[in-house]
Amino acid sequence: MADGAQWETVDRGWGRLAADFAALFEPANVREYAALHHLLAVSAGDRLLDVACGSGLAIELAGLRGAACAGLDASGRLVAIARDRSPDADIRVGDMAALPWPDERFDVVTSFRGIWATTPGALTEAHRVLRRGGRFGLTAWGHLKRSPGAWALAPLGLAEPPQVQHQSDMNQIGRPGRGEQLLAEAGFVEIERHELRMVWEFADPAHYVRAIGSSGPAYEAIQAVGRAEFETRALELAAARVRDGLPLRAEIHLAGFTARRPG
């Protein structure tokens, strides 16, 4: 996740297998999207912005609830899919630290694992484009070590040590008190933490390997160890968890936050 000029490089990792990501991986996040939309009571007439929207499944689902949607992501190839899914939405390529909308434009702003402890400028921007009293919702990784599905994220740790350290720095937003502090510093009030669950399901190990391999962090791991080693490690992890007649399942704790811009 990058602030500043670095955002223009994001598509190299996140966009290189955009169709795989959209069709094979993103649908596994659907429980997370439904849970946060429910907590925020997203409904007809809401003007909603999704920050770091990826290929836009969350936008499509918010649209089904009647919201008039906008979105932004740094990856042009993911944005192309988001626009294909929601042709009426205002979806743009850009940097979440410099949102191209005027002040107080939206009733609801969401971000699903898109804003991190390392990107506080994106929180300030989310606050700026919300109307007074508007609702904000954010998800981030929760307690990964306690998550039964932590194995599914393990191959991403094959990246070079500075990148693994950066992932850890980003994830600080989910730690007790840290996300609340960052939201308060950005000007939000009525900050509440919610324990959410991500439940990824994959038909078989090959589906899992193709899905996880399409993500941005996988690009960093593949650059470090090569595609063959990345895929071998991921296949081994998944093969050990195959269950007869059932999909592979990885349940991961998420930290969810809801808050408001002061009215």
Ligand X SMILES: C[S@@+](CC[C@H](N)C(=O)[O-])C[C@H]1O[C@@H](n2cnc3c(N)ncnc32)[C@H](O)[C@@H]1O
Binding stretches for ligand X (CB under 6 A): 1-3, 7, 10, 14, 26, 29, 52-54, 58, 72-75, 78, 95-97, 112-114, 216
Q: Give min distance, CB of 34 to ligand X, in A.
A: 12
114 versus 174: smaller Cβ distance to ligand X: 114
211 versus 234: smaller Cβ distance to ligand X: 211
Q: Give min distance, CB of 115 to ligand X, in A.
A: 9
Q: Give min distance, CB of 58 to ligand X, in A.
A: 6
The two tokens of residue 38 are: 């429910």
Residue nearest to ligand X (CB): 54
2 versus 23: smaller Cβ distance to ligand X: 2
12 versus 227: smaller Cβ distance to ligand X: 12
Q: Give min distance, CB of 187 to ligand X, in A.
A: 20
248-260 β-sheet, strand order: 90-93, 68-73, 47-51, 106-112, 130-141, 248-260, 189-202
72 versus 183: smaller Cβ distance to ligand X: 72
Q: Give min distance, CB of 7 to ligand X, in A.
A: 4
